[in-house]
Structure 1
Amino acid sequence: MEASVSWRTRIVSTVATTALAVSGGVLAVPAASAAVRPGNPFAGARGYVDPDWSAAALATAALGGDLRPAMSTVARQPTAVWLDSIASINGTPGRRGLRDHLDGALAQQDPGGQPVVITLVLYNLPNRSCTRAPSGELKTSADYRTQFIDPIAAILAEPAYRWLRVAVVVEPDALANALFSHFECAQAAEIYQEAIPYALSRLHETPNVHAYLDVTQSNQLGWEESLQAAAAVVRQVAGRTPAGVASIDGFAVNVADYDPLDEPFLDIDMMRNGVTIRQTKWVDWNNHLEESTFVDAMHAALVAAGFPEQIGALLDTSRNGWGGSARPTAASTSTDINTFVEQSRVDRRPTRLTWCNQKGAGLGELPRATPQTHVHAYAWVKQPGVSDGNEAGDVRCDPNGEIPPTRGSNRPTNAMAGAPPRGEWFPAAFTELVRSAYPPVL
């Protein structure tokens, strides 16, 4: 156990230092607007419902039997739109482009009534997953700026969309890749420091656009040294934009992941026979078991780094409910610390590092604004029912495979069988998410 702590500390310290050493100059971008943004774009707004995703959900609902009413409720919920390639900007056959979605959001907005907020995800950073699928299509920061960010920023700035509220999640997983990059991800930190400030700056030019920089989740950055290193890099990135800390309106947490909001039967300070649960294989010295406490800690670290108090989280609850028959109803009575944690935790994955089409996962809280302190909104950033991939694209999606050892022995992937390629509709996964939703969908 101690070895894993020193390993993580050494990697984070080295890479954070390298990242912070990258040129700290402010990027040259067009002048930003001086208009004042609302602190929380989700407050008082109605979320955009993606018609294509909703249609897929309703088609599955038609075959859903006793789950049909719940599936129909789910199909009416807002979800994010992912821009994960150059082609996704203008659309492809069978897939709407950015303008199509923005026009759709305008159509869902009542004239003179409640504003609509549409959530977008930028996911096309060069070398975005560090040799792991999906690796992305762009090779340099210059390509990212001119072929991806500039066209998106130009569309968002069109006058027709000025009355929409636009929340943009900026590059899921990129911060963790930059922090923990080593030999197979040697360029991740440099690319992050070059590309992310430019993206933030271009987004900030348009007053109704709000940037939420992804900070992954507690299973990646829950260790105190990791969290503090992340906050330092976020502050460094903001410092390289003309608007400084104002270029980041919030931080995105748990995007496309499964960490629960709360572990009701566990507390990080619990002990059994003088042994803390932080020493268990499941916790592995992490300071956070759940996203609620992680959000509070990240907020405190960012405020201490110079961000305003009103900065808040966009917390993805699309599949962190962990309901169903496997959900424990009480704390374990075991006196063995590892058994106690295994029997008490609601997160039923074999390890907190598995992420592909997880068996037993359920929908979490429905999307809504200001649900808790320091959270701007619960959102379904990952569209429920959209596949993470299959074994043809990534060994971590092989239902018969194992994830590589990181802290201990190999663990099963826990991936569902029969998955289609990444980004395609997966009816069985949608059904499982609705069946295992917590709270249950009525």
Structure 2
Amino acid sequence: MNVWRRLSGRRRAVALAGASALVAGGLVTLPVTAAHAATQCDVAYTTNDWQGGFTANVTIRNVGDALSNWTLGFTFPDANQRLVQGWSARWSQSGRNVTAQNESWNGNLATGASTSIGFNGSWSGSNPKPTSFTVNGVTCNGGTPPTSTPPTSTPPTSTPPTSTPPTSTPPTSTPPTSPPPPGTRVDNPYLNAQGYVNPEWKAKAESVAGGNRVSNISTAVWIDRIAAIEGTDNSQSNGPMGIRDHLDEALEQGADYIQFVIYNLPGRDCAALASNGELQADELPKYKAEYIDPIAAIQGDAKYRDIRIINIIEVDSLPNLVTNTSGNPGGTVMCDTVKANGAYVQGVGYALAQLGAFSNVYNYVDAGHHGWLGWDSNFTPTAQILKEAATASGSTVNHVHGFITNTANYSALIEPYAKVTDSVNGQTVRQSDWIDWNQYNDEQSFAQAFRQELVRQGFPSSIGMLIDTSRNGWGGPNRPTSAGPTTNVNTYVDGGRVDRRIHKGNWCNQSGAGMGERPKAAPASGIDAYVWAKPPGESDGSSREIPNNDGKGFDRMCDPTYTGNDRNGNSMSGALPDAPISGAWFAAQFAELMANAYPPLS
């Protein structure tokens, strides 16, 4: 899993520039569309204010010809008024201009019909109400409330609504203490939300001494084969839970969100062996019909519309098409095959289109990590192929809520003592063996920069990034507390880097690793959350060949005696001994991860 991949040779630095547009509360930046000749509208805008914030309730009434879609536009009177979080529409803000585009279920407005939408906002100084509104570019009545309460439009009866308007008004004295109404898509699904605790992982964690300190942390559920969709008969306690079991348990817990890793592409993980999957490279139709479609059927069940379902889409897939095909060091026949037949691009596109059709589902696509994609030759080409996949098989960029980096990997979140901007005796530290001319030396700086590149490639400016921090803490007695000696760039970097791996190309069951930052929402600019996508204690791969029926191969990078290859600079693998197959419980690793946690466990 997560083999380090890059092109060989030293690179010269290329400056990366760009500004990240701030868009609050919405999914996409939407222009007001051209006016329809017979559009006429009536808009009511009311607010409940408190110091520094407010909730706005907006009713749009169609008094012209029937509409099949609509876009509301208005301008905040004050430059300090900001959209924070909206519901029942796709909201965005640019400068003082605000737009809201209908959801799939409330776009049809017959003559005389209306729909209610709303948002939470912030203000300073004053909070004047907008005085002019447009629908599809036509000016409405300037915000005067209708003389009577119009009927609220309802979704089609054949498809359960995936979003509902707010059911109550928050008190005027204090801001709302809960997220917008259940079932509505929000800008950041992790914000002010309680995550689902997987009872299966919790039991394993508590089987190790001290595991109860972390056992109530939300971790992702990996759906890595077709059989994992349904699971087995838990009434006999003889097998794993399926997707519906986990969703039912999430409802029982009262969780706000649940995380699934969607991980079963044809020819999966084409440059590694430990995490190969059950589907052959030519089995895209089976992937669609027997894997993605059943998952979509469960996640789209109206029973679950009040929980935020977060999907992490196909770890270690699309970047392989850039770095591990013919012409690259370590290129494989399998990577050539899935690039040529479109299995990865079309498979990811199909997953995004099917799962992203529900307004309570959030898709985050895997985007490698800095030690794989941080070179100029990999950075932009990977963003471009992510865009290609996001617009394949019926998907659009709006089916992508964001991206995740460092999934199941060990790259340090922040390197406080070894920054790429540092120099030693006039020599840039990017020349060091560890950094090797990479533009980045930690995950957070990479994720923030890669987000800007993705926006430049055409993704909405509202996308957010996730960083898997489950195993990148690197604490314990070997964690540096200052930069290394300034003898040369290598002593400086090696003495001060908190990532203590032998080489950044090492990815399997790394010795000395520790749990990282606990899951946290909105920890930094552009970052939706730190998450534990890889449940700590689940093996990356077996340290020796172990026969199994799950399609898991033996990768020498998981063998502690392996002396390496081109991908890791012919270094020792750094892997722990006595590891089981990937995904199986590895108690010794879990104990070490706790011991080396940073921040330390209490």
TM-score after normalising by structure 2: 0.65
Is 2:229 the counterpart of 1:86? Answer: no
Identical pairs, percent: 41
* One of 200, 204, 215 as aligned partner of 1:75: 215
Is 2:527 the counterpart of 1:375? Answer: yes
Structure 2 counterpart of 1:406, one-letter code: R
Q: For residue 97 of structure 1, what is the aligned residue in structure 2?
A: 242
Q: Spell out, residue by residue over 1:156-186, the C-alpha distance to the aligned partner (whole angstroms, 9 max, x if none).
A: 0111111110000000110221212224221
* One of 287, 312, 320 as aligned partner of 1:169: 312
Structure 2 counterpart of 1:264, one-letter code: P
Q: For residue 447 of structure 2, what is the aligned residue in structure 1?
A: 295
Is 2:484 the counterpart of 1:332? Answer: yes
Contact 2:407 2:467 (C-alpha < 8 Å) held by counterparts: yes
Distance 1:163-1:280 versus aligned 2 partners, 3 A rule: same
Q: For residue 508 of structure 2, what is the aligned residue in structure 1?
A: 356
Is 2:418 the counterpart of 1:266? Answer: yes
Task: State the Cα distance separating 1:417 from its structure 2 match.
Answer: 1.2
Choose between structure 1 and 2: higher strand proportion: 2
Contact 1:108 1:116 (C-alpha < 8 Å) held by counterparts: no
Structure 2 counterpart of 1:397, one-letter code: C
Structure 1 counterpart of 2:241, one-letter code: R
Q: For residue 581 of structure 2, what is the aligned residue in structure 1?
A: 421
Task: State the Cα distance separating 1:245 from its structure 2 match.
Answer: 1.4
Q: For residue 4 of structure 1, what is the aligned residue in structure 2?
A: 9
Distance 1:160-1:441 versus aligned 2 partners, 3 A rule: same
Task: State the Cα distance separating 1:407 from its structure 2 match.
Answer: 6.5
Distance 1:37-1:4 versus aligned 2 partners, 3 A rule: same
d(CA) in 2 for partners of 1:318, 1:198 = 28
Contact 2:418 2:497 (C-alpha < 8 Å) held by counterparts: yes
Q: Spell out, residue by residue over 1:373-419, the C-alpha distance to the aligned partner (whole angstroms, 9 max, x if none).
A: 111111100000111121212211111112212364x1111111121
d(CA) in 2 for partners of 1:175, 1:243 = 16
* One of 249, 272, 289 as aligned partner of 1:146: 289
* One of 303, 311, 325 as aligned partner of 1:160: 303
Distance 1:52-1:174 versus aligned 2 partners, 3 A rule: same
Higher RCO, 1 vs 2 (CA within 8 Å, ≥6 residues apart):
1
Choose between structure 1 and 2: higher helix proportion: 1
Task: State the Cα distance separating 1:196 from its structure 2 match.
Answer: 0.9
- Give 1:128-139 correspondences, 5 Å limit: 128-130=268-270, 132-133=272-273, 134-139=275-280
What value does the CA root-mean-square deviation take over the aligned residues? Answer: 2.0
Q: For residue 192 of structure 1, what is the aligned residue in structure 2?
A: 344
Gaps of 5+ in 2: 1-5, 15-102, 106-162, 164-183, 233-237, 327-331, 546-553
Is 2:574 the counterpart of 1:434? Answer: no
d(CA) in 1 for partners of 2:467, 2:309 = 16
Q: For residue 411 of structure 1, what is the aligned residue in structure 2?
A: 571
Q: Which is higher, the Rg of structure 1 or of structure 2?
A: 2
- Give 1:191-230 correspondences, 5 Å limit: 191-230=343-382
Is 2:199 the counterpart of 1:56? Answer: no
d(CA) in 2 for partners of 1:234, 1:359 = 32
Task: State the Cα distance separating 1:73 from its structure 2 match.
Answer: 1.9
Contact 1:363 1:438 (C-alpha < 8 Å) held by counterparts: yes
Q: Spell out, residue by residue over 1:206-243, the C-alpha distance to the aligned partner (whole angstroms, 9 max, x if none).
A: 11110000001101111123111111112222223545
d(CA) in 2 for partners of 1:278, 1:141 = 41
* One of 37, 41, 52 as aligned partner of 2:185: 37
Q: Secondary structure at the match of 2:310?
A: strand
Moved more, 128-137 or 235-244: 235-244
Is 2:542 the counterpart of 1:399? Answer: no
Contact 1:317 1:366 (C-alpha < 8 Å) held by counterparts: yes
Q: For residue 467 of structure 2, what is the aligned residue in structure 1?
A: 315
Task: State the Cα distance separating 1:201 from its structure 2 match.
Answer: 0.0
TM-score after normalising by structure 1: 0.88
Q: Secondary structure at the match of 1:142?
A: helix
Distance 1:423-1:334 versus aligned 2 partners, 3 A rule: same
Contact 1:126 1:191 (C-alpha < 8 Å) held by counterparts: yes
Distance 1:356-1:407 versus aligned 2 partners, 3 A rule: closer
Q: For residue 107 of structure 1, what is the aligned residue in structure 2?
A: 252
d(CA) in 2 for partners of 1:216, 1:41 = 22
d(CA) in 1 for partners of 2:395, 2:187 = 16
Q: Spell out, residue by residue over 1:335-355, the C-alpha distance to the aligned partner (whole angstroms, 9 max, x if none).
A: 211121111111000101111
d(CA) in 2 for partners of 1:266, 1:311 = 29
Structure 2 counterpart of 1:396, one-letter code: M
d(CA) in 2 for partners of 1:4, 1:343 = 24
Contact 2:11 2:437 (C-alpha < 8 Å) held by counterparts: no
Task: State the Cα distance separating 1:430 from its structure 2 match.
Answer: 0.6
Q: Secondary structure at the match of 1:295?
A: helix
d(CA) in 2 for partners of 1:324, 1:119 = 29
What is the count of residue pairs matched by the alignment? 405
Is 2:492 the counterpart of 1:345? Answer: no
d(CA) in 1 for partners of 2:10, 2:318 = 20
Structure 2 counterpart of 1:439, one-letter code: P
Q: Secondary structure at the match of 2:258?
A: strand
Distance 1:407-1:152 versus aligned 2 partners, 3 A rule: closer
Distance 1:267-1:360 versus aligned 2 partners, 3 A rule: same
Moved more, 138-147 or 428-437: 138-147
Structure 2 counterpart of 1:423, one-letter code: G
Gaps of 5+ in 1: 10-31, 62-67, 110-114
Structure 1 counterpart of 2:297, one-letter code: A
